[in-house]
């Protein structure tokens, strides 16, 4: 068929609507097959929609509109496609932006260099990542260019000078976060217990082996892998934390898929690192870095967020000294990490300065008793203050 309808695809059984937050193209543009053309926000994830074929696109809805699963949001006239492949393009001709790769588009957004202005050295004159990097190294730093008007939802307009208020529609993801937080507060018996941990041993260990770790694994050794391993050990010692309520039944989990909270422009997401009891420190660091990157780029999938048994959230990266995190249902507990601050502490009768961190464990008192919560937090503290425990499993 010469005209193809662009429909919002199924996103999962629980998702029926979403917000078409922005168009990546302009109405009437020529698009290439598999080119990202819009961004869709749902109550769980943000995803990109791509063109099923090359042609000229015509919008059916504006950016910022709420759309239903299966709704037609645009059409593509394939007979009007000007996109030609390989031999018909002169060797020196720049590649149209419509068929730029994700890496090329990313560099273009960061540098302001249009792929169409770069001579491609790839197959058929295609602009490669290397071409863009070479162009960016020669070009002067550009001043930030305003985003195309078609790509911005109307509700996100900048406030006028002197305005006392601005109003914008709450995104589906933010609405969902708000609903879940309120539901948890009403449905669970939340209680938080605190402790503090001396980070000296972990800091010293990282400093001693960081260079070798990076050379071998290609990633830095952070704090999250230590805490993830410490949490796994504590869950094994206190299995009541690794439970959840299903109606009138208590479900005890015997696996260790740990969620790691990631702050994004759209809101908080909790991608899950699977099988942390079987992963090494480097594997955990890589999994966390990859999940965080995909979450911030809007490339996270529903299956990446489902099935965690416990969550770790680190407010310390924003400077938080202490907080009471809210559990991620149906999990029964969440561990909050905070900023590392040098403080005077008493050790063996002497006052010394140590890098200290406050820990906060919020738990559902319907499932977890105070003794179990305190024991869990002490186990985490012991593992961090004596990292050899993580290797020996004690």
One domain for residues 116 and 213: no
Cα–Cα distances (Å) from 68 to 8, 42, 65, in that order, read 7, 10, 10
What pLDDT, on a 0 to 100 scale, did the predictor assign at position 91? Answer: 40
Query: Is residue 35 domain-resident?
Result: yes
Give the count of domains, the chain. 2
Mean pLDDT on 39-57: 84
Count of CB atoms within 10 A of residue 163's CB? 8
Query: Which residues constitute the domain of residue 133?
Result: 3-155
- The predicted model scores a pTM of 0.66
Q: What is the CATH number of the domain that holds 140?
A: 2.40.50.100
Give 376's contacts (C-beta < 8 A, 6+ positions apart): 234, 235, 237, 238, 241, 333, 361
Give the burial string for 225-260 (b: 16+ CB within 10 Å, else e). Answer: bbbbbbbbbbbeebebbbbbbeeeeeeebeebbbbb
What's the sign of the alpha-carbon dihedral 257, 262, 266, 267?
positive
Residue 394 has pLDDT above 70, yes or no: no
One domain for residues 149 and 237: no
One domain for residues 84 and 191: no
Measure the CA–CA gap between 205 and 120, rounded to whole angstroms: 47
- Which contiguous run of DSSP H or E holds residue 56? strand 55-59
One domain for residues 188 and 145: no
What pLDDT, on a 0 to 100 scale, did the predictor assign at position 110? Answer: 63
One domain for residues 226 and 149: no
Query: Is residue 203 domain-resident?
Result: yes
One domain for residues 190 and 145: no
Query: Is residue 166 domain-resident?
Result: no
Count of helix runs (H) and strand runs (E) in the chain: 9, 18
What size, in residues, is the chain?
Answer: 394
Measure the CA–CA gap between 274 and 277, rounded to whole angstroms: 9
Between these two residues, 280 and 10, which has the higher pLDDT value?
280
What's phi and psi for 7, nearest 5 deg? Answer: -115, 150
One domain for residues 220 and 324: yes
Record the tokens describing residue 180, joined without a space: 């879940």
What's the sign of the alpha-carbon dihedral 195, 201, 202, 204?
positive
Mean pLDDT of the chain: 83
Cα–Cα distances (Å) from 57 to 147, 164, 239, 294, 330, in that order, read 19, 39, 55, 27, 43
Partners of residue 48 on adjacent β-strands:
39
Percent of residues, the chain, with pLDDT higher than 70: 81
Q: What is the CATH number of the domain that holds 263?
A: 3.30.559.10
The pLDDT tens digits of the residues spanning 98-144 come to 456 656 666 676 667 777 777 777 666 777 766 776 776 665 544 44
Mean pLDDT on 307-329: 92
Annotate 360-384 with three-state secondary structure.
EEEEECCCCCHHHHHHHHHHHHHHH
The catalytic site residues sit at 365, 369
Partners of residue 108 on adjacent β-strands:
none
Count of CB atoms within 10 A of residue 13's CB? 7
Mean pLDDT on 217-244: 95
Mean pLDDT on 292-321: 88
Residue 268 has pLDDT above 70, yes or no: yes
Measure the CA–CA gap between 23 and 147, rounded to whole angstroms: 11
The pLDDT tens digits of the residues spanning 134-182 come to 776 665 544 444 444 444 444 445 666 677 888 877 776 677 778 777 8
Query: Is residue 160 domain-resident?
Result: no
Cα angle: 19, vertex 23, 24; to 5 degrees:
135
HSE-CB at 215 with a 13 A cutoff on CA atoms is 4
One domain for residues 144 and 101: yes
């Amino acid at each position: 068929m010469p005209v193809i309808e662009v429909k919002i695809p199924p996103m999962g059984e629980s998702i029926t609507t979403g917000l078409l937050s922005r168009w990546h193209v302009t109405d009437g543009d020529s698009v290439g097959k598999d080119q990202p053309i819009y961004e869709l926000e749902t109550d769980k994830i943000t995803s990109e929609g791509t063109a099923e074929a090359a042609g000229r696109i015509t919008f059916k809805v504006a950016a910022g509109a709420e759309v239903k699963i299966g709704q037609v949001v645009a059409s593509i006239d394939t007979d009007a496609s000007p996109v030609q492949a390989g031999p018909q393009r002169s060797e020196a001709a720049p590649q149209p932006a419509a068929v730029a790769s994700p890496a090329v588009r990313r560099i273009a957004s960061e540098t302001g260099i249009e792929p169409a202005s770069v001579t491609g050295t790839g197959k058929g004159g295609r602009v490669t990542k290397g071409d863009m990097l070479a162009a960016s190294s020669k070009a002067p730093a550009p001043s930030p260019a305003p985003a195309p008007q078609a790509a911005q939802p109307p509700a996100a307009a900048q406030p006028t000078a002197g305005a006392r208020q601005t109003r914008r529609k709450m995104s589906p993801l933010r609405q969902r976060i708000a609903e879940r937080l309120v539901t948890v507060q009403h449905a669970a018996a939340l209680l938080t217990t605190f402790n503090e941990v001396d980070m000296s041993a972990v800091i010293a260990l990282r400093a001693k082996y960081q260079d070798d770790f990076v050379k071998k694994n290609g990633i830095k050794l952070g704090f999250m892998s230590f805490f993830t391993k410490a949490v796994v050990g504590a869950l094994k010692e206190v299995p009541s934390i690794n439970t959840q309520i299903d109606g009138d039944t208590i479900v005890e989990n015997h696996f260790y898929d740990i969620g790691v909270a990631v702050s994004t422009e759209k809101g908080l997401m909790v991608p899950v690192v699977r099988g942390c009891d079987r992963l090494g420190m480097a594997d955990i660091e890589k999994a966390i870095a990859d999940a965080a990157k995909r979450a911030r780029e809007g490339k996270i999938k529903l299956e990446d967020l489902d099935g965690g048994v416990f969550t770790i959230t680190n407010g310390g990266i924003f400077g938080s000294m202490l907080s009471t995190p809210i559990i991620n249902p149906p999990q029964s507990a969440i561990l909050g990490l905070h900023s590392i601050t040098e403080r005077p502490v008493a050790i063996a009768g002497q006052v010394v300065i140590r890098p200290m961190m406050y820990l906060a464990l919020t738990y559902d008192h319907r499932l977890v008793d105070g003794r179990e919560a305190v024991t869990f937090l002490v186990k985490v503290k012991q593992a961090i203050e004596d990292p050899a425990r993580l290797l020996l499993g004690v």
